[in-house]
Amino acid sequence: MSTPRHSAALASFLLPLLALWGCAPESGSERTAPTSGAAPVTDAEVPATVDASPAAQPEVAQGGEDAVESANGAASDDAEPAATAPIAGPTAAPTSTPASTPATSHGGSSGARTLAGFEVLSELRVVDAPTVPSAAVRGPDTTPALRPDDESLTHDFGLVLEGEEALTEFVLRNQSDRPVSIRAINSTCKCTLGDLFVLGEGDERRAYELEAPIAPGERLAVRAELETALQRGVMSHSVTLVPTEGYATRLSLKARVQPFLAAEPPTGTIDIGSLRREESRSGSLLIRATNDAPVELSIEPAEIAPYVHPTLVPLDDDDSDGRATRWRLDVTVGPDLPEIARRPWGFNVYSDVELPGSVEPPVGGRAARYSQRVVLSATVVPSVRVQPNIVAFGVFAPDHEQEAVVEIEITDSHVAAAPPAVSVEWGLGKADPKALEPYLTTRLVALEEGTEWRLEVTLAGLPPELSGPFQGQLTVETDHPERPKVVIPFSGLCRDRATGTTK
């Protein structure tokens, strides 16, 4: 028989006590010493540190019965013959268990033996404790009453063409023992909920009204649809049925939407790169119909910026009717670009195939059609470029000199007749911002006559009383017709080294 760990430990603790009890001479009982020749032990010889009180003994749950019973048998010479009785537990085996234990008198107590002045149990009963997990271990039951028989709350449509119908019907059953009613229905974006029907005998249908009871075992049909128009890639949406009592039923719909038109590269982006305002540059991408059916592509002129010039070229061998399965889009950007650092421009390329379920716009235009979004990415070099466009002096001590360098360049064909003029304007951060003005100096060095300069800005000699944060801006004035003025913000923090504080 296997002995659990805690039972073995208990037996190892009790066996010496039981052995001592069996060897000690007691008045009114005839006992002999063990055959091993061990000397009799009296109560006075028992160590005082041993706590043999019933309250100090750990509770026995299972196991350890063989050793304990044998010890009891050896200690009871005057006991009646043992009767064989099974021990409760999954691996019960015949074990000698005393059928009865005669009562003896020990210091006036009846029906119990004593050791070192404490009562000692004359018999151990070992049983298996039930192993039923508590409610805290199991957790609350969150299973909704309305659920399918196959326990599947998710429908995966797989691969669906953009705009195609993705409609399914869930059949739920009230799997509880009491009526259930639905008080609300919620659906995420791009998921449309259809009608709800209660299914009767022979799948007869009757419309379901909110808060009407659904009897135990009764079935409810729920129609749900994914709106795949103008969608691409993985879609995952849900419908939630909220009952008046209990947990809600959440139905999930998934699909992988294949676009009607696909671009190469897939992002539909044409990277023009970096160019000056008066320059022009071209790029291209491919557009194809994913179902390999010929289509006609077009671009709405109203969506095109005046400096963007697109052209659609069919690539099929036979495109006499103006339709093809593959097209190339060529785009030229510039000249006369606006003064911007970097900005995407975008427009749509439309097919002649209408989206399913599309309607005519109320004011002019055409019904919704399959389309491909195209994005143009370009960096336009400004006519007057400054680098960096923000000056940060950082943290420095009053007696420390801080210097910053700004490069100024005219990037187009314009040539300045005179060097730029630089002025300083102090901002917030001081009670008297102009108190720092005598300590800031600027120096303009020509690198390329009429087109390129280096601006050196130095801040030095600040007294400790001017410690603290400061900010302002440098204004560079040029004679360029497109950008006559450039503003460069600056900021910093002067901290007194001696005190480590700012004022």
pLDDT at 109 over 50: no
- pLDDT band with cut points at 50, 70 and 90 for residue 94: very low
Q: How confident is the model at residue 226 (pLDDT cuts 50, 70, 90)?
A: confident
Domain ranges of the chain: 5-120, 146-258, 261-381, 384-494
Determine if the peptide bond prior to 47 is cis (ω within 30°): no
Break the chain down into helix, strand, coil percent, rounded to 5.
10, 45, 45
> Does 86 have pLDDT greater than 80?
no
| Lowest pLDDT segment from 8-12, 28-32, 72-76, 153-157 | 28-32
pLDDT digits (tens, 9 = 90+) for 458-485: 988 888 887 888 888 899 998 888 888 8
Q: Do domains 261-381 and 384-494 have the same CATH topology?
A: yes
Residue 265 has pLDDT above 50, yes or no: yes
Q: pLDDT of 421-439, one tens digit each?
A: 998 888 765 556 677 788 8
Contact status, residue 154 vs residue 98, Cβ threshold 8 Å: no
The torsion region of residue 137 among left (phi > 0), alpha (psi -120 to 50) and beta comes to alpha
Cα–Cα nearest to 3, from 51, 48, 69, 55 = 69
Element (DSSP H or E) covering residue 14 = helix 5-23
Grade residue 220 by pLDDT with cuts at 50, 70 and 90. very high
* Tens of pLDDT, residues 15-56: 555 555 554 444 443 433 444 444 444 444 444 444 444 444
Residue (of 358, 382, 377) closest to 369 by Cα position: 358
Q: What is the mean pLDDT of the chain?
A: 75
HEC letters along 235-283? EEEEEEEEECCCCCEEEEEEEEEECCEEEECCCCEEEEEEEECCCCEEE
- Compute the radius of gyration of the chain from its Cα atoms: 46
Rounded CA gap, 198 and 208, in Å? 6
Q: Report the sign of the C-alpha dihedral through residues 314, 318, 322, 324, in that order.
A: negative
CA 478 to chain centroid: 53
For the chain, percent of residues with pLDDT exceeding 90: 29
Question: What is the C-alpha separation between 244 and 39, in angstroms, rounded?
Answer: 79
CATH architecture of 146-258: Sandwich (2.60)
In tens, the pLDDT along 145-194 reads 999 988 789 999 999 988 888 889 999 999 999 999 999 988 887 667 77
| Angle between helical axes of 5-23 and 65-75 (0-180°, round to 10) | 0
What architecture is the 384-494 domain classified under in CATH?
Answer: Sandwich (2.60)
The CB density around residue 233, as the number of other CB atoms within 10 Å, is 9
Determine the pLDDT at residue 69.
45
Residue 483 tokens, joined: 């950008």
- The HSE-up count of residue 195 (CA atoms within 13 Å, CB side) is 7
Q: What is the mean pLDDT of residues 372-388?
A: 88
**pLDDT score at 364:** 54
CATH topology of domain 261-381: Immunoglobulin-like (2.60.40)
What letter represents residue 367's amino acid?
A: A
- Cβ distance 445 to 499 under 8 Å? no
Please tell me the predicted confidence (pLDDT) of residue 433: 64
Pairwise CA distance, residues 134 & 157, whole Å: 41
434, 472 Cβ separation under 8 angstroms: no
Asked whether the predicted pLDDT for residue 68 surpasses 60, the reply is no
Higher-scoring residue by pLDDT: 181, 127: 181
